[in-house]
Structure 1
Amino acid sequence: MKRLLLLATGGTIAGCAENSAMLNDYTAGVLGGDALLAAVPQLQDLATISVEQIANVDSADLLFVHWRALVGRIRDAFAADPELAGVVITHGTNTLEETAWLLQLLIDDPRPVVLVGAMRPATALSADGPLNLFQGVQVALSPEARGQGALVVMDGQIHAAERVTKLATQGVGAFASPLSGPLGWVDDVGVHLSTARGLRQVPFADLALPEQWPQVPIVYGCVEPEPLLLSACLKAGVAGLVFTGTGAGQLSVAERSALQAWPGKRPLMLRANRCGSGSVHCDSEDQRLGLLSAGSLNPQKARVVLLMALLAGWDRDQLDALITASP
C-alpha cells in the first residue's frame, strides 16, 4: 500500500462549534491531524498515512515560521523517503491559496503536494472537511497529479496553485480559478486530471528560508487613498511593496506623485489589481516609478513571489522575467 504524509496546520477543517447547526461561530484549529484522519476511516483503504502537526491555528494567524517549518518538513520527507507517494496538507481557507503558491515556488519534486481545507467546521451538519480530505488523498495518490506542483482540492475540484483563489466567505464552492477554471475534478469514480506536460520550473527550489523575513506590505487602492499609508511604508524602509491597484492595477495621481517625490531608495514594487481576475500589463510609467506588473497574480500571491525574490536577493529584472514567463 502506498504511503502518504499528512501535515496538519489547523483551520476550519479542524474547527469546532458548540452545536452542529453553528456554521459561523466556531473556533478554528481545535482538532489535531490524528482526529481528522480518524474521522475518515475510508482512508485506511487508500494508503498508509502518517500524521504530523505543523501548527493548529486559524490560517489568518499563520506566520512565516509556520511556512518555514512546512517547507522544511516537505523537503526533508521527500529527500528521506523515495517511496513516499506524496504530501497532503490540511489548512485553513483564509490563506490557503498563499501557502499553495509558496509551495509551488519552493518544492522541486514531481510527487504531489495537495492542500485541502473546509468551509464548515468539523462539528457542522454536512461538514465538507472529511470529503475534501478523502478526495485530496485520492488526488495525491494519482499518477496524473505527478509533476503538477502544488494542488488545491476543494468541493471536488482540483485547482492549480497559481490560479486558485477564495472568492466567497461562505459555501462549500468558495474556491475557483477565475482565469482558467480548475485543472480537473475528483469523485467516486476517480481522479479526472490531464497528465502534466513537460518539466515544471521551480524558481526558488534551492532557497533556504531564514528566520527573519523582509517587510512587504500591501497597499489597497480606493477613492482618495490615505497618503500616510504609502508614506509610512517608504519611511519605514520596507524591502518590498505590493499595490492593489484599481482597474487594471492603476495607481492614483497621489500615489504616483508620492513615489516620484520619494528621495530615498525605492523598494521592489509590484502592481496587482483589486478586481479579482484579469492581468495587469506594463505601463509607460512603470520604469520611471520603479514599478513592475504582477501579471495575473492577485495581490496576496504577488506578495509571496516578491518575498521569495527578496530572500533570494533578486533584482527588478530577474523578478520581471519570472512574472513575464508565467502562463
Structure 2
Amino acid sequence: MSGASVSSLSKSGSSLPRLLLLATGGTIAGRASDVTSLNHYSAGVIAAEELLQSVPQLRGLAAIEAEQIANVDSADLQFDHWRRLVARIREALAVDPDLAGVVITHGTNTLEETAWLLQLLIDDPRPVVLVGAMRPASALSADGPLNLFQAVQVAVSSEARGQGVLVVMDGQIHDARDVTKVATQGVGAFASPGRGPLGWVDDAGVYLSTASGTRQVPFAELALPQQWPQVPIIYGCAEPEPLILTACLKAGVQGLVLTGTGAGQLSVGERRALEAWTGPRPLMLRANRCGSGPVHGGEQDAELGLLPAGLLSPQKARVLLLLAVMAGLDQEQLLQLLPITLVQDEQL
C-alpha cells in the first residue's frame, strides 16, 4: 500500500500460517519516560516493526508482514484512517487466498468503533482481530506484548474462522458488536455487557464455539468516499438543552444519534424540538446511555422520525448511521437492517 511501511517477522523457510498486521498506534505503541508511568505517556510512537521485534515468540506462531497505517492516539483517529484501513484489508484478503487473517493494533479509546465498522464492511470468513493495551509498552508489566501474542493465536486458529471481526484483550475474545471499553484503567478494561466474551485464549489454546451460519455484512460492497457525512451524537441528561438538537437539524446533518436516558427515553424538550422541526429530517437512531440493555421501538418514534438502536451503544449506532448515509439508505431501508443490532448470530 502506498505510503505504508512494511516489515516482516518469520522463520526462514517457514511453513507457518501467514498474517498481515496493520498498525494504527495507540497505547500498545506508547512510551513513557519512566517505567512506572501509567497515565502520562505518548501513544503511537513505536513503529509496527518494533512491536513485532519486541515479541520474538510470535516467530513460532505465524509469518507476519506488518504495515503502518497510522501511528496515533485512537482519540485522534480520522475517517481517512478508517478508509485506508478498510481498503487495505479488502485488498489483502481479495488478492491473497493463502493469507490466514489480519491483526490490527489499535488504541483502546475508539477500538470498539473500528471493530464494528469493519464488522459491517468486511465480508470474508478469515479472522480480522483487533488488539490494544491499557499500559504503554515501556511500563512495568505492560499488557501489550501478551495481548498481541494472544491476538495472533486467535487469528491463526481454525476456531476464529467465520466469527467475523474479533477483539482480543486480557485473554478474552469479544464480538465486535458487543465489546466496549468499560474502565479507564486496568488491563481488564474491556467487556461485552449482557453477553460476556465469545471465548478465551491462553497458553493451552483458543476456546471459541464454532461459528453458526453466515453472518450479515450489509455494506460489503460499499465504496468509502473521501468526504464522510456529519453524524453527531446528542447525550441525554436532566433538563437537556434543546438548542443543541435544533442546531444540528438547522445545520443539515445527515444522521443523528440521540442518547436517551434509561431505555433510550427523550425529554419533553427534545420531543418538542423534533415535533416543531418542519425541515427535512436526517436518519435518526435512539440509543441509551446505560451501557447495556436494548432500546425498543416507542409509540412516538414514527411521528418523530426515530428508529431504535437496539443493543448498539451510541458510538456504534453512529458508525451504522455513517455507513447507512453513505449507502444512500432511507429510513425504511435502515429499519430492515436494525435486527443486526439485536441478533447477530441469525440470518435475517
TM-score after normalising by structure 2: 0.93
Quote the offset at 1:324 in angstroms.
2.5
**1:273-296 CA distance string (max 9 Å, x none):** 000000001000000000000000
Q: Confirm or deny that 1:206 pairs with 2:221.
A: yes
Give the corresponding residue for 2:237: 222
Tell which deviates more after alignment, 223-232 or 80-89.
223-232
Distance 1:145 1:320 in 2: 30
1:253 paired with 2:268, answer yes
* Counterpart position of 2:198: 183
Asked if 1:141 corresponds to 2:178, the answer is no
Indicate the residue corresponding to 1:62 in structure 2.
77
Q: State the AA in 2 paired with 1:309.
A: A
Matching residue of 2:51: 36
- 1:194 is aligned, of 206, 209, 222, to 209
Matches within 5 A, 1:306-325: 306-325=321-340
AA aligned to 2:202 is: D
Deviations 1:14-70 (A, max 9, x none): 001011000000010000111111100000011100000000000000000000000
Q: What are the equivalent positions in structure 2 for 1:246-325 lying under 5 Å apart?
A: 246-325=261-340
List alignment gaps of at least 5 residues for structure 1: none
Query: Which amino acid in 2 is paired with 1:102?
Result: L
- 1:2 maps to which residue? 17
| In 2: Cα distance, 1:84 partner to 1:155 partner | 25
Unaligned regions of 5+ residues in structure 2, if any? 1-15, 344-348
Listed as ranges, the matches of 1:62-211 within 5 Å are 62-211=77-226
Per the TM alignment, residue 228 of structure 1 is displaced from its structure 2 partner at its CA by 1.9
Q: Quick one: distance in 2 between partners of 1:248 and 1:118?
A: 31
Aligned to 1:26: 41
Counterpart AA for 1:197? S
Name the CA distance, whole Å, in 2 between partners of 1:62 and 1:227. Answer: 29
Alignment partners' CA distance in 1, 2:244 and 2:170: 38
Give 1:208 shift.
Answer: 0.4
> In structure 1, how many angstroms separate the alpha carbons of the residues matched to 2:318 and 2:125?
25
The secondary structure found in structure 2 opposite 1:272 is strand
The one-letter code of the counterpart of 2:49 is D
Q: TM-score, normalised by structure 1?
A: 0.99
Partner of 2:255: 240
Report Cα offsets for 1:242-273 as digits up to 9, x if no partner: 01110000110000000000110111100000
Secondary structure, counterpart of 1:300 in structure 2: helix
SS of 1:6's partner is: strand
**Aligned partners of 1:324 and 1:270: how far apart in 2?**
13
CA distance in 1, matches of 2:304, 2:339: 19
Residues 98-140 of structure 1, C-alpha deviations (whole Å, 9 max, x = no match): 0000000000000000000000000000000000000000000
Tell me the alpha carbon deviations over residues 129-175 of structure 1, each in whole angstroms, 9 at most, x when there is no partner.
Answer: 00000000000000010111100000000000000000000000000
SS at match of 1:119: coil
State the AA in 2 paired with 1:237: G
| TM-superposition CA deviations, 1:152-204 (whole Å, max 9, x none) | 00000000000000000000000000021000000000001111011111100
Task: Quote the residue 1:49 is aligned against.
Answer: 64
CA deviations 1:55-104 (Å, max 9, x no partner) are: 00000000000000000000000011100000000000000000000000
2:173 partner SS: strand
Aligned equivalents of 2:307 and 2:262: distance in 1? 16
